[in-house]
């Protein structure tokens, strides 16, 4: 057993569940806190639903609730608000949002997992705060709730008593951070090793984003340029070259990009090249010099800098992490030490 932080005693974790909740959003954090109890932590975990009844998750699994929201009388140390695929419906459920507000008001820390951030935002609990959510929904969270400062690449974010995490398994990262805060790094490290996960995973969640989806701009000139970048990312796509191909000024091309793509020509081209390089690294064995040349970065060093700047990992680490789980490898490759 490891020494607890001075003054740390039994802590109560309340997990709020509802019909259609994502199963791993619930069980991931619970497993972290339960495992911590084997290594020096003292957590009491309880599951609450609106009326105390069991709920059926999005996976079709039935979850039992320990108590109803009205029966949660004591202040809890951590409130976990999971997400669900039908979050667009959930944010319109006034009774559900009232339950979230009431529980959060009795919690020292409120933590959401994945699209649970939408429930907190709809309840007004993230106004003026920084927040994270699943990478697919970061833009939507910012559009729906402009008072929330969305951090699209964060695995989890803490702002005051509110914590929000990225998609699904990021709830494990968030929970490990809380274990470290409550009982120290040694306990959190022991839990990470026990669960065979990173105590702090490399990179942000940009590395999980979809390939560039080419927008459909109103201007045909810009549409043709975007198509040419996507079709051949290794070609010369400097703003001067693109302006020359389009027969317009550099200033005009730059303005079109900002108006219809929302970013500069250079940044857009680099993003397309980055995603092309990701695809090559995921599916092929080409040397880095070939990947860099084919995707327009020119050199392995330029490729490496772009990966570290945007994804927080090197190209080699990306290839190793995302090409295979290692299952069935002839050399019995071991998983990386998660510590």
d(CA 203, CA 153): 9
Mean pLDDT of the chain: 88
11-206 and 210-322: identical CATH topology:
no
Strand (E) or helix (H) holding 29:
helix 23-36
- Helix/strand/coil for 115: coil
* Domain locations in the chain as residue ranges: 11-206, 210-322
Cα 259–chain centre separation? 28
Q: Apex CA 231: angle with CA 283 and CA 276, to 5°?
A: 35
DSSP 3-state helix, strand, coil percentages of the chain (rounded to 5)? 45, 10, 40
The DSSP secondary-structure symbol of 137 reads: G
d(CA 14, CA 151): 26
Higher pLDDT, 275 or 249: 249
- CB 131, CB 183: distance < 8 Å: no
Annotation marks residue 76 as catalytic: no
Predicted local distance difference test score (pLDDT) of residue 320:
82
Indicate which residue of 76, 109, 114, 212 is catalytic.
114
d(CA 282, CA 176): 29
Nearest to 121 by CA among 106, 107, 131: 131
- CB 170, CB 113: distance < 8 Å: yes
Predicted local distance difference test score (pLDDT) of residue 204:
72
d(CA 287, CA 290): 5
Phi, psi of 164 (to 5 degrees): -135, 145
Could you tell me which residues come within 8 angstroms of residue 116 by beta carbon, excluding any fewer than 6 positions away? 25, 80, 81, 82, 83, 164
Asked if pLDDT for residue 229 goes beyond 50, the answer is yes
CATH of domain 11-206: 3.40.50.880
Predicted local distance difference test score (pLDDT) of residue 231:
81
Nearest to 99 by CA among 64, 127, 67, 141: 67
d(CA 114, CA 121): 12
| β-bridge mates for residue 51, sequence order | none
Confidence of residue 51 (pLDDT cuts 50, 70, 90): very high
How large is the average pLDDT for residues 10-37? 97
How large is the average pLDDT for residues 118-139? 95
Topology classification of domain 210-322 = Arc Repressor Mutant, subunit A (1.10.10)
Predicted local distance difference test score (pLDDT) of residue 150:
93
- CB 135, CB 204: distance < 8 Å: no
Predicted local distance difference test score (pLDDT) of residue 332:
36
d(CA 278, CA 295): 10
d(CA 202, CA 12): 30
Helices (H) and strands (E) in the chain, counts: 14, 11
How large is the average pLDDT for residues 227-253? 92
């Amino acid at each position: 057993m490891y020494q607890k932080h001075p003054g740390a005693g039994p802590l109560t974790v309340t997990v709020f569940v509802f019909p259609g909740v994502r199963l791993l959003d619930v069980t991931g954090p619970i497993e972290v806190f339960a495992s911590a109890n084997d290594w020096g932590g003292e957590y009491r975990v309880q599951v609450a639903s609106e009326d105390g009844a069991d709920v059926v998750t999005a996976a079709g699994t039935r979850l039992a609730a320990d108590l109803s929201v009205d029966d949660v009388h004591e202040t809890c140390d951590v409130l976990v608000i999971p997400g669900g695929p039908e979050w667009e419906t959930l944010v319109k459920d006034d009774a559900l949002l009232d339950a979230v507000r009431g529980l959060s008001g009795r919690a020292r820390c409120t933590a959401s997992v994945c699209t649970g951030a939408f429930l907190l935002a709809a309840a007004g609990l993230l106004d003026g705060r920084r927040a994270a959510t699943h990478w697919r929904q970061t833009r939507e969270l910012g559009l729906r709730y402009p008072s929330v400062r969305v951090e699209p690449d964060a695995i989890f974010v803490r702002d005051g008593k509110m914590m929000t995490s990225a998609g699904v398994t990021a709830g494990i990262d968030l929970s490990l951070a809380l274990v470290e805060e409550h009982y120290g790094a040694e306990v959190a490290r022991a839990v990470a090793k026990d669960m065979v996960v990173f105590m702090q995973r490399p990179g942000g969640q940009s590395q999980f984003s979809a390939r560039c989806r080419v927008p459909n701009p109103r201007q045909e000139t810009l549409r043709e340029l975007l198509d040419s970048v996507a079709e051949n990312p290794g070609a010369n796509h400097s703003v001067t070259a693109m302006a020359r191909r389009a027969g317009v000024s550099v200033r005009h091309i730059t303005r079109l990009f900002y108006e219809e793509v929302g970013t500069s020509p250079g940044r857009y081209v680099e993003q397309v090249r980055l995603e092309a390089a990701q695809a090559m690294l995921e599916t092929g064995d080409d040397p880095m010099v070939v990947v860099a040349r084919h995707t327009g970065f020119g050199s392995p060093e330029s490729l490496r800098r772009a990966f570290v700047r945007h994804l927080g990992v090197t190209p080699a680490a990306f290839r190793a992490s995302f090409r295979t789980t290692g299952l069935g490898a002839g050399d019995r490759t071991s998983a990386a030490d998660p510590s």
